[in-house]
Amino acid sequence: MKKRLNLKNFTVITLTASFLLSPSVACALPANETISGDTRRAAYLRQDVTVELNREKLSFTDEQGAVVYPITYNGSTYLPIRAISGLMGEPIEWNNAAKTVYIGKTLSMPVKYLLDPAESPYVKTVEDGASGNMSNIVVREQRGIYVMYDFESLEFKNESGTVIYPINYNGSNYLPLRAAAELMGEEIVWDNKTKTVYIGSMTPVEETDEPEMRDETFSIIELYDREAELYNLATAKIVEISKWTDDQAPVMASSISEDLRTATLNNYEAKKLLKTETFTDEEKEACQKLCDFIEITEYYILVMENIAYMAADKQDYSIMAETFLNFALESEKAMDSAREAIECL
């Protein structure tokens, strides 16, 4: 039996000309980022607290692989931002210039790309619950940093509606666990007797055999995933254009030319796939929308290529900004339409 392909959920950012044409300062989330002037407060390191997601016990690690624990501060439970992003299955990025944490869509990865939480290096399933103690620590309220999810600014509140802020402990920034659950659309429950935070279903997840997928459906999904990944990678290259050095620009332009060749081949394959005689009506409709998405993407990457070579020749590529934006918007619309049709198969 074929395993049903986990369809990636891509949603393109509504790119603006200023975003394309102005520099962005993106780097890895710093291990020791602190903001001067933030308030230091007493808190508790909770080695005695267990976190469960859909009744699976979890442990969390930092970038070096060391185990990290929940923190309780002012009645709210916090986890490191990296652990939060792992729970959500979302990329994470720090922008030092703007003092902003990006979760989901980021400056270097503006196209929505969901990760598999099971593959996160910061979140692991474990057999046993917590067995440690609660200890006193000092944390720093981070009122000078911002958190954005899919380019929308987040404000965190506790159960009573009071605004709460990220905190920093040992150089790592922490977010309220309740906020992550809300972004995931999951319920969250605290059991004081067992010292357990439950996220999601309180019933253990049972593995079930999924229905067999038709070969025709599989071929549509597989081509969509390849095209969406190509789109994502090409977009990630062009949004860094203002940071290209003189040596990098010709290399990047050549790389985008290769992306364009791949897009052309995908377009040819999509039109051939559309002629499949054994498609159901739903598959034929999904394939047609996939063809529309792939065709507009080919033009979109063609515009990218023109911009890239203009940059390599040190020409003013800002004249292409409006054209680029138009194709970005059309591609977004076509991508969403194709994805929605495929998800119904």
Q: Report how far residue 189's alpha carbon sits from residue 194's, in angstroms, rounded to the nearest whole number.
A: 12
Whether 153 and 264 map to the same domain: the answer is no
- What single letter denotes the amino acid at residue 300? Y
- Tell whether the model's pLDDT for residue 36 goes beyond 70: no
Q: How confident is the model over 186-239, as pLDDT tens digits?
A: 888 888 888 888 887 766 545 555 567 899 999 999 999 889 888 888 888 888
Name the residue range of residue 92's domain.
24-199
Q: How many CB atoms lie within 10 A of CB 271?
A: 13
DSSP secondary structure of 71-96: EEETTEEEEEHHHHHHHHT--EEEET
Whether 238 and 183 map to the same domain: the answer is no
- Tell whether the model's pLDDT for residue 14 goes beyond 50: no
Q: Which residue has the tokens 């549509």?
A: 220
* Tokens representing residue 119 in the block: 């593959």
Three-state SS at 332 = helix
**33, 127 contact by CB (below 8 A):** no
Whether 174 and 232 map to the same domain: the answer is no
- Tell whether the model's pLDDT for residue 305 goes beyond 60: yes
pLDDT level of residue 29 (50, 70, 90 thresholds): very low
Return all residues near 286 (Cβ < 8 A) that are at least 6 apart.
Answer: 220, 338, 341, 342, 344, 345
**Quick one: pLDDT at residue 19?**
40
Listing from the earlier edge strand, what are the strands of the sheet with 100-103?
92-95, 100-103, 146-149, 152-153
* Tokens representing residue 171 in the block: 């150089």
* Tokens representing residue 193 in the block: 């007797």
Whether 220 and 138 map to the same domain: the answer is no
Q: Which of 199, 229, 251 is the last residue of a domain?
A: 199
Q: Mean pLDDT lowest for which of 12-21, 38-47, 291-300?
A: 12-21
Torsion angle in degrees (nearest 10) through CA of 290, 293, 294, 295: 120
* CA dihedral (314, 316, 322, 325) positive or negative: positive
Whether 116 and 174 map to the same domain: the answer is yes
28 or 236: which leads in pLDDT = 236
pLDDT, average across residues 290-303: 96
Has residue 7 been placed in a domain?
no
Whether 31 and 159 map to the same domain: the answer is yes
* Tokens representing residue 337 in the block: 């339409």
Return all residues near 325 (Cβ < 8 A) that are at least 6 apart.
Answer: 15, 16, 17, 20
Has residue 207 been placed in a domain?
no
pLDDT level of residue 3 (50, 70, 90 thresholds): very low
Share of the chain above pLDDT 90, in %: 31
Q: Which of 164, 199, 234 is the last residue of a domain?
A: 199
Whether 164 and 310 map to the same domain: the answer is no
Whether 99 and 69 map to the same domain: the answer is yes
Among 83, 96, 80, residue whose Cα is nearest residue 33: 96
pLDDT level of residue 251 (50, 70, 90 thresholds): very high
- Tell whether the model's pLDDT for residue 322 goes beyond 80: yes
Q: 61: part of which helix (H) or strand (E)? A: strand 56-61
Q: How confident is the model over 51-73, as pLDDT tens digits?
A: 888 888 888 888 888 888 999 98
Whether 113 and 163 map to the same domain: the answer is yes
Q: Which residue has the tokens 């780097």?
A: 27
- Tell whether the model's pLDDT for residue 178 goes beyond 70: yes
Q: How many domains does the chain have?
A: 2
Strands 92-95 and 152-153: unpaired
Has residue 12 been placed in a domain?
no
**291, 270 contact by CB (below 8 A):** yes
Has residue 159 been placed in a domain?
yes
Whether 257 and 185 map to the same domain: the answer is no
Cα 174 to the chain's mean position, in Å?
18
Among 229, 230, 227, 236, residue whose Cα is nearest residue 20: 236
Tell me the CB-side half-sphere exposure of residue 324, using CA atoms within 13 A. Answer: 24
Question: pTM of the full predicted structure?
Answer: 0.53
* CA dihedral (329, 331, 335, 341) positive or negative: positive
Residue 242, domain CATH? 1.20.1420
